[in-house]
Structure 1
Amino acid sequence: MVFGFKRNRANDENSNVPFGTVQMPTPPSPPPVYADNDDDYEKELDSQKSIDLAYEVTEHDTLNENERWPTSEELATMVRVADHVPPRAFLIIVTEFCERFTYYGVSGIFQNYIQNGYKVPGSNPGAIDGGKQMATGLGNFFQFWCYITPIFAAIIADQWWGKYKTILVFAVLYLVGDLILTLTALPSSIRSGGALPGLIISMIIIGLGTGGIKSNVSPLVAEQYQRNRPFIRKLKNGKEVLVDRDTTIQSIFNWFYWAINVGSLSAIATSELEHNVDFWPAYLLPTLMFVVCIIVFWLGRNRYVRNPPSGSILLVAVKCMVTGFKQSRKAKKAGHVITREDGKKASWMDYAKPSNMLDSEESENAAWNDNFVDELHRTLRACKVFLFFPVYWLCYGQITNNLVSQAGEMNTGSVPNDIMQNIDPLFLIVFIPIFDKVIYPGLRRCGIVIGPVTRIFVGFLLAAIAMAYAAIVQHLIYTSGPYYDNPGSNHNDISAAIQIPAYAFIACSEIFASITGLEYAYTRAPHNMKSIVMSIFLFTNCGGAILAFAFNPISADPKLVENFAIASGLMGGFAFLFFACFFKYDRKDRMANKNR
């Protein structure tokens, strides 16, 4: 049970309770009685008390009809299932769908917009005529910018506005960027040279809006599910199941990610519009959808669970870590060595606990308590997993730049080359419900629980396979005539349909790596650090964009085979290194679930 800085009051953005106030959870309903004698009854009560202490019990952990608390034996042996997703969470999921419709609708056609000239006969659609390297470079900048801004937005949400207000304000900013992009894509603006400066300004503004939404919307949707403690539910057929929070959060994020990919299909519409009409209507469509996004999100304002801002945890966390480092050095010099309750040697973070500080004055003035240090230590442990994600995002980012250009060098028939990237979300729309409703539950019924580290490892391997396949496709393009390894804006005699397996591998990798990363960031973070941890996970996209900048010199013909092959090799190597470093985490999680 976690105390410290936990707050559970919903719809209270303006709480006057000071930061750091300890709040005790509301006791759960009495445990069931299964005992035939007093001794067994007392044992059952003791078992239920230990279960209470293993969970962060809130006032929402009460029983409804046909529900009861599980025994410790049932916790260890029963298959865990997901609960129903709250209706208010679907409002946020619809909001995310609209936002992603806009994001992918505009960014999905950036490569052509930047790379090619305007209305050039026999060429793919374009506007700026900046070439392949400029298009890839600006695309990487946009990715970098969109995923560094969540850090600042998370601080704003935690310190002042809360998640709901932060999302709403940044959404309005996002809409301004969309309008600038649409207006500067008008034919008169393109011909007068306004397309490039308009694009850069809109990229900066849309990136700010994206950061404000992305760092807060995924924690907000998960917060709509309020029950923490597992419970037994009796189904209509008389069967009893163990409903589990972590499994429910996994399901929520599966559907959240499913909505993202349905929204990303907007690139099909915008690609057709740029190809058959012009760029300004292609940008106008997602701009209008974003108006719908703001309206839908605002309509749910009185339904959402809204936890109040509790102060910027990031600043306190940094000070806490600095204090831990200084105190550990001071303690070692003084010969003051401490051990944990389990008998293991204390880490440098443990010396930041006020109870372990040598200086009593510094201990009294600390802005945190012992429990906060434990939570921060758990957060840092979780964030180690994210260190390997930049290489994954390097591979994933190829979808919107180099794979688009690759399709432009092949025969696509009457289909625009940048419409091929939508094969990825189409696969995800089909695969995610199958994994959520069939594969994962089926494995759990067989007693097979795939831990988050193993799922991420599989996702990394699939991304490596996707890049290896893309390298093979690029080699086939270069060995096909009539233009061979220098096709430019022309097409070699090879069908773009051969790209489909690369997108299928990437889609499967997202289910295992990207969705699990979101779930891991949320479930492993303490309550008051969820926005920060989520933004740190999103920040790994920036690492991928930085790596992509290093690949820019080989992101052009005739070096694209090297580009894909090196990305594949890096991803494969990092996948096995990741598993070697963290495979023990899954085992610890399994043991913790059995012992809780």
Structure 2
Amino acid sequence: MSAHGHGSDEPSLYSAGAVGVPAVYHTDDSATESYPGDKAQELDGSIEGQEFGGGDDDDYLREGERWPTAEDKSTLTRVADRVPRQAFLIIATEFCERFTYYGVSGLFQNYIQNGYKVPGSNPGALGRGKHTAAGLGNFLQFWCYITPILGAVIADQYWGKYRTILVFSVVYLVGDLVLTLTSIPVSIRAGGAFPGLVIAIIIIGLATGAVKSNVSPMVAEQYRRTRPFVRRLKSGREVLVDRDATIQSIFNWFYWAINVGSLSSIATTELEHNVDFWPAYLLPTLMFVVCIGVFWLGRNKYVRTPPTGSIVVKAAKCIATGVRRAYLARRGGPVLVDAQGRRESWIEYAKPSTMAEVPASVTWDDKFVGELRRTLRACKVFLFFPIYWLCYGQMSNNLVAQAGEMNTGSVPNDIIQNLDPICLIIFIPIFDMGIYPALRRCGIVVGPITRIFIGFLLAAVSMAYAAIVQHLVYSAGPYYDSPGSKFNNISAAIQIPAYIFIAWGEIFASISGLEYAYTRAPAAMKSIIMSIYLFTNCGGAILAFCFNPILDDPKLVENFAIAGGLMGAFAFLFYACFWKYDRS
């Protein structure tokens, strides 16, 4: 579930092809490959401690490896290297964190919407209705994706990624405890559950944002080898071990862990349905204790990038300088032109070389401005993601509410949203180990822009289908278009295709966006582009607030139909604007 976890970027798009799953190697016999003695041949220096990033040189050779020739690069099969062991500790940490987040947030729609212990109704606690439930859910999404900027600044400027994740994990645990303690029956009946929920949302959103902005870049940093090399397998066949393919593999494992962790809401919704809310919240709270322990376990093994000053703050100052100087130039100051006599972009005005006197506040050089311009150009792709997140967010609120108006049998209405991660766990390996390799063997490489376009279309189809389902709900008795907290005689199983379509869309759009955010920008700009990518979720939450007036019966058909229509239109506009990026 992307929302949630998820980074990719530039020098080249993905040599390995499209996004996939946890398959460390993409060849039949390399999966059982052993590394001969783990001996290494030095290249300009010692590699002692390389496994955990302890050496100074990240380009080296082990026994059975060599540097590739030009012919090797064009003829050998590109595969991923093994994922470093410490990266798996970070992936396990992300699993625990997502287990906690989805175990808690998956209950919010019922917890807020329905009354406590109302006979014949779905489980609930606050009785605040659909508007408040959707509003607080959208606020949580907004808050969780604006706080990563703060987390990135703290890590880069002061603490580094490791300490930032550890400290905010403790803050996260405090928020979980507040939610758990205020959801006990005596607190609900005394009116303490609602303020406790608001406080918990603020704390959890702050903490998850700080963790989110640092955990995905940190997991990628654990792989230190930068140059491709040739490895001879036990079968005698040679393959080209590629960094881009390895980073892709790491992110596949990372995304896989996110979706397995998100299945926690199956357990918590069952506890909510059969016991009460407080044990349902207690389970993910205890899991977060495990999360902190797992992350702390690797404290002496992680590759740690020391704080060198916040690139986000530096970039913000650079952008402000460029905008201000470009504005003054248009008001009569000296105008910058290129070799062809055309006006330069506003960002060029931030280059120190264009200033008569360089102020002390300018701490960047021309290269920094060039890299920032390149990063901002890549970020244009993200302008279309808020519409996607608007559609994606329907799973955690309006589709849950829709299921609450249908016959679910003995199954809790809010458990059905777990179809999304289940579909991802099933289909990601199929795409990675079946569909994408088959396309590559045919010489077909599906670029990231095409994949994102397909994902957008699938999200649009999901919303269109949900609109049809909602119409069928209103057409069924006995309550027709005014079911309230009751349900009509129509099976919730009819919702399943909506979740399948959104899951397929996630494989194409969300995972590709995550990779694009990490691989598309220069190395020094990764935290900026990741923050911008995560910030697009805020745009989706803001758009969702605009839909609040049509979140009551009988207007939910309009909600899904408008979201699907917008997504479909913007999908084609997106592809028209950026299809050439697949060739860059």
Give the shorter-chain TM-score range: 0.7 to 0.9
**Per-residue deviation, 1:249:** 1.6
Aligned counterpart in structure 2 of residue 547 of structure 1, from 523, 543, 555: 543
Aligned counterpart in structure 1 of residue 203 of structure 2, from 177, 201, 205: 205
Give, in whole Å, the separation in 2 of the partners of 1:190 and 1:546: 29
- Does residue 113 (structure 1) correspond to residue 106 (structure 2)? The answer is no
Give, in whole Å, the separation in 2 of the partners of 1:540 and 1:334: 36
- Does residue 502 (structure 1) correspond to residue 511 (structure 2)? The answer is no
What is the one-letter code of the residue matched to 1:338?
A: D
Call closer, same or farther: CA 1:346–1:248 in 2, change over 3 Å.
farther
Do the aligned partners of 2:152 and 2:312 also contact (CA within 8 Å) in 1? no
Give, in whole Å, the separation in 1 of the partners of 2:77 and 2:385: 31
Do the aligned partners of 1:251 and 1:436 also contact (CA within 8 Å) in 2? no
Match of 2:226 in 1: 228
1:170-207 Cα distance to aligned partner (Å, 9 max, x none) = 10000000001000000000111111111001110111
What is the one-letter code of the residue matched to 1:166?
A: T
3-state DSSP class of the match of 2:358? Answer: helix
Match of 1:95 in 2: 93
Call closer, same or farther: CA 1:323–1:412 in 2, change over 3 Å.
same
1:489-509 Cα distance to aligned partner (Å, 9 max, x none) = 111111111111110111111
Match of 1:80 in 2: 78
**Per-residue deviation, 1:550:** 0.4
How high is the TM-score relative to the length of structure 2?
0.87
- Does residue 296 (structure 1) correspond to residue 308 (structure 2)? The answer is no
- Does residue 392 (structure 1) correspond to residue 377 (structure 2)? The answer is no
**Per-residue deviation, 1:585:** 0.9
Aligned counterpart in structure 1 of residue 121 of structure 2, from 123, 132, 151: 123
**Per-residue deviation, 1:375:** 1.4
Give, in whole Å, the separation in 1 of the partners of 2:468 and 2:323: 50
Call closer, same or farther: CA 1:553–1:199 in 2, change over 3 Å.
same
- Does residue 311 (structure 1) correspond to residue 309 (structure 2)? The answer is yes
Give, in whole Å, the separation in 1 of the partners of 2:209 and 2:574: 27
3-state DSSP class of the match of 1:362? Answer: coil
Call closer, same or farther: CA 1:134–1:363 in 2, change over 3 Å.
closer
**Per-residue deviation, 1:64:** 1.8
3-state DSSP class of the match of 2:240? Answer: strand
Do the aligned partners of 1:80 and 1:444 also contact (CA within 8 Å) in 2? no
Deviates more, 1:145-154 or 1:529-538: 529-538
Call closer, same or farther: CA 1:473–1:206 in 2, change over 3 Å.
same
1:114-137 Cα distance to aligned partner (Å, 9 max, x none) = 111111111100000001111111
**Per-residue deviation, 1:321:** 2.5
Deviates more, 1:249-258 or 1:557-566: 249-258
3-state DSSP class of the match of 1:563? Answer: helix
Give, in whole Å, the separation in 2 of the partners of 1:339 and 1:234: 50
Do the aligned partners of 2:89 and 2:294 also contact (CA within 8 Å) in 1? yes
What is the one-letter code of the residue matched to 1:511?
A: I
Aligned counterpart in structure 1 of residue 556 of structure 2, from 550, 555, 560: 560
Match of 2:521 in 1: 525
Give the 5 Å matches for 1:15-26: none
Match of 2:251 in 1: 253
Deviates more, 1:512-521 or 1:316-325: 316-325
What is the one-letter code of the residue matched to 1:582?
A: F
**Per-residue deviation, 1:530:** 2.0
3-state DSSP class of the match of 1:498? Answer: helix
Match of 1:466 in 2: 462
Aligned counterpart in structure 2 of residue 64 of structure 1, from 50, 62, 65: 62
Do the aligned partners of 1:97 and 1:263 also contact (CA within 8 Å) in 2? yes
**Per-residue deviation, 1:73:** 4.1
Match of 1:488 in 2: 484
Sequence identity (%)? 74
Match of 1:353 in 2: 351
Deviates more, 1:75-84 or 1:383-392: 75-84
Give the 5 Å matches for 1:320-339: 320-325=318-323, 330=329, 334=334, 337-339=337-339
Call closer, same or farther: CA 1:72–1:404 in 2, change over 3 Å.
same
Match of 2:36 in 1: none
Give, in whole Å, the separation in 1 of the partners of 2:140 and 2:336: 50
What is the one-letter code of the residue matched to 2:271?
A: L
**Per-residue deviation, 1:446:** 2.4
Do the aligned partners of 2:110 and 2:122 also contact (CA within 8 Å) in 1? yes
Give, in whole Å, the separation in 2 of the partners of 1:336 and 1:297: 50
What is the one-letter code of the residue matched to 1:395?
A: C
3-state DSSP class of the match of 2:61? Answer: coil
What is the one-letter code of the residue matched to 1:585?
A: Y
Match of 2:35 in 1: none
Aligned counterpart in structure 2 of residue 431 of structure 1, from 427, 433, 436: 427
1:67-119 Cα distance to aligned partner (Å, 9 max, x none) = 22223344345443222211111101110000000000010010000111111
Give, in whole Å, the separation in 2 of the partners of 1:378 and 1:161: 27
How high is the TM-score relative to the length of structure 1?
0.86
**Per-residue deviation, 1:149:** 0.8
- The structure whose RCO (Cα within 8 Å, separation 6+) is larger is 2
Call closer, same or farther: CA 1:367–1:191 in 2, change over 3 Å.
same
What is the one-letter code of the residue matched to 2:443?
A: G
**Per-residue deviation, 1:324:** 3.3
What is the one-letter code of the residue matched to 1:512?
A: F
Give, in whole Å, the separation in 2 of the partners of 1:559 and 1:199: 28
- Does residue 441 (structure 1) correspond to residue 437 (structure 2)? The answer is yes
What is the one-letter code of the residue matched to 2:65?
A: E
3-state DSSP class of the match of 2:60? Answer: coil
